[in-house]
């Protein structure tokens, strides 16, 4: 069987050497963080190496936007989405799933240009990717896996309603997902698509939040209420056991609560939310406040970690659980890190952004160790 690297080199889209820029050097944390720069010419995926203070950006493919970087659990790869217009559909803007090898500096498209695909994650063994896709404008979204060794795209669902926002369990045996639009239910199925089971009923599932498994695989975090892309609506994080029992509301902030992420040991969740009244004055950008919050999995210990005027959002954990990375405008737009108690806040990207005309970066993710 050909190795993944052989396939990458044989089928890859070659891209030029990364541009390297020195900036702030961080003393204690180590590893790499991938994130998105919103540059004047489009969205660009970059990485920052905390040990050296080097920033590298992936050159754009076909001069189009890149988004949603997700690190492989145990390799030199990350997956991402790239916006493309297929020749047969000149008026369509579709999303194509790619993988990128940071050592070999090559990227490979894995899904057809004609599909509108959404990337959701890696299998725990790094051998497969989990996506959902509309094969055409008239189709419903279905869930698929992509085998990286063979390139095979295997459908897991085939329903008359859309299935999307999928998430692999930590042991790789199950997949949680949202089924239905605009009224969705939380579902769980086996990793091969068999035995789908409905976990929720009568709840208004928020279609902007991907379900998140706890590290031990016993619970799933998801969001209830709110409207898709309408952050003026209240929403909260709920937890439920993987067998459908133990449903409980975890947060009650009064605002829109989104983007929950479990700590590596499963004891806490970090998330961002829009403050109550954040949209009272649409003409005042300073009123559009988001904050980074933390809460224990039992509902205790709720705290506002960022407490700043401006935007603090898209939090994620370091692999050792000692740091939280997030996007912010606190001291200028950039990627920041802080301790889980909100202390030792540091900006780890330089300011202004590396791309001329760039705006605040977002979607930071720490590379697994």
Full pLDDT tens readout for the chain, 369 residues? 334 434 333 333 333 333 333 334 445 799 999 999 876 677 889 999 998 888 888 877 777 889 999 999 987 899 999 998 877 776 677 899 999 998 888 899 999 998 999 999 999 999 999 999 998 766 789 999 999 999 999 999 999 899 999 999 999 999 999 999 888 999 999 999 999 999 999 898 888 889 999 999 999 999 997 554 455 567 899 999 999 999 999 998 888 888 999 999 999 999 998 766 665 665 555 556 789 999 999 999 999 999 887 789 999 999 999 999 999 988 888 999 999 999 999 999 875 544 444 456 899 999 998
Task: Flag whether 349 is in a domain.
Answer: no
Let me know if residue 262 belongs to a domain: no
Residue 59 is assigned to a structural domain of this protein? yes
Look at the alpha carbons of 112, 113, 117, 123 in this order and tell me if their dihedral is positive or negative: positive
Compute the residue count for the chain. 369
Cα–Cα distance measured from residue 363 to residue 327, given in angstroms and rounded to the nearest whole number:
7
Domain range enclosing 130 = 1-155+363-369
Residues 364, 317: Cα–Cα separation, whole Å: 10
Domain membership of residue 43 (yes or no) is yes
Instruction: With beta carbons less than 8 A apart as the criterion, state whether 189 and 177 touch.
Output: yes
Q: What order do you get walking across the sheet with 359-366 strand by strand?
A: 19-22, 54-57, 42-49, 32-39, 359-366
From 305, 196, 198, 310, select the one nearest 261 (Cα to Cα): 305
Q: Which of 155, 150, 106 is nearest to 130 (CA)?
A: 155
Contacts of 202 (CB under 8 A, 6+ apart): none
So what's the pLDDT on residue 310? 75
pTM of the model: 0.87
Closest of 140, 119, 109, 146 to residue 12, by C-alpha: 109
In a domain? residue 125: yes
Residue 181 lies in a domain: no
Q: Is residue 320 part of a domain?
A: no
Coil, helix or strand for 252? Answer: coil
Asked if residue 105 belongs to a domain, the reply is yes
What does the alpha-carbon distance between residue 35 and residue 327 come to, in Å, rounded to a whole number?
9
Count structural domains, the chain.
Answer: 1
Q: Pick from 309, 314, 346, 301: which is nearest to 329 by CA?
A: 309
């Amino acid at each position: 069987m050909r190795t993944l690297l052989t396939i990458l080199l044989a089928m890859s889209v070659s891209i030029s050497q990364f541009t390297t820029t020195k900036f702030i050097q961080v003393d204690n944390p180590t590893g790499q963080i991938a994130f998105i720069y919103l540059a004047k010419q489009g969205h660009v995926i970059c990485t920052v190496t905390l040990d050296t203070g080097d920033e590298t950006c992936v050159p754009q493919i076909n001069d189009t936007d890149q988004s949603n970087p997700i690190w492989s659990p145990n390799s030199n790869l990350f997956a991402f989405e790239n916006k493309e217009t297929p020749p047969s559909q000149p008026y369509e803007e579709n999303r194509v799933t790619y993988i990128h090898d940071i050592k070999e500096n090559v990227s490979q498209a894995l899904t057809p240009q004609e599909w509108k695909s959404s990337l959701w994650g890696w299998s725990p063994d790094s051998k497969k990717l989990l996506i959902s896709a509309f094969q055409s404008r008239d189709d419903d979204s279905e869930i698929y896996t992509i085998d990286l060794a063979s390139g095979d795209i295997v459908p897991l669902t085939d329903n008359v309603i859309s299935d999307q926002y999928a998430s692999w369990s930590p042991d790789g045996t199950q997949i949680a997902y949202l089924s239905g639009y605009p009224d969705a239910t939380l579902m769980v199925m086996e990793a091969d698509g068999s035995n789908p089971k409905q976990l929720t009923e009568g709840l208004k599932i928020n279609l902007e939040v991907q379900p998140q498994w706890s590290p031990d695989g016993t619970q799933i975090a998801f969001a209830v209420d709110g409207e898709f892309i309408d952050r003026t609506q209240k929403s909260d994080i709920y937890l439920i056991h993987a067998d459908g029992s133990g449903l409980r509301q975890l947060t009650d902030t009064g605002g829109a609560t989104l983007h929950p992420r479990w700590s590596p040991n499963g004891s806490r969740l970090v998330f961002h939310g829009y403050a109550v009244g954040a949209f009272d004055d649409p003409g005042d950008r300073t009123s559009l406040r988001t904050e980074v919050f933390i809460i224990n999995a039992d509902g205790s210990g709720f705290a506002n970690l960022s407490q700043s005027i401006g935007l603090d959002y898209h939090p994620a954990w370091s692999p050792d659980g000692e740091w939280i990375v997030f996007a912010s405008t606190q001291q200028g737009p950039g990627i920041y890190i802080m301790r889980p108690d909100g202390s030792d806040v540091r900006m780890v990207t330089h300011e202004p952004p590396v791309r001329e005309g760039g705006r605040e970066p977002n979607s930071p993710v720490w590379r697994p160790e």
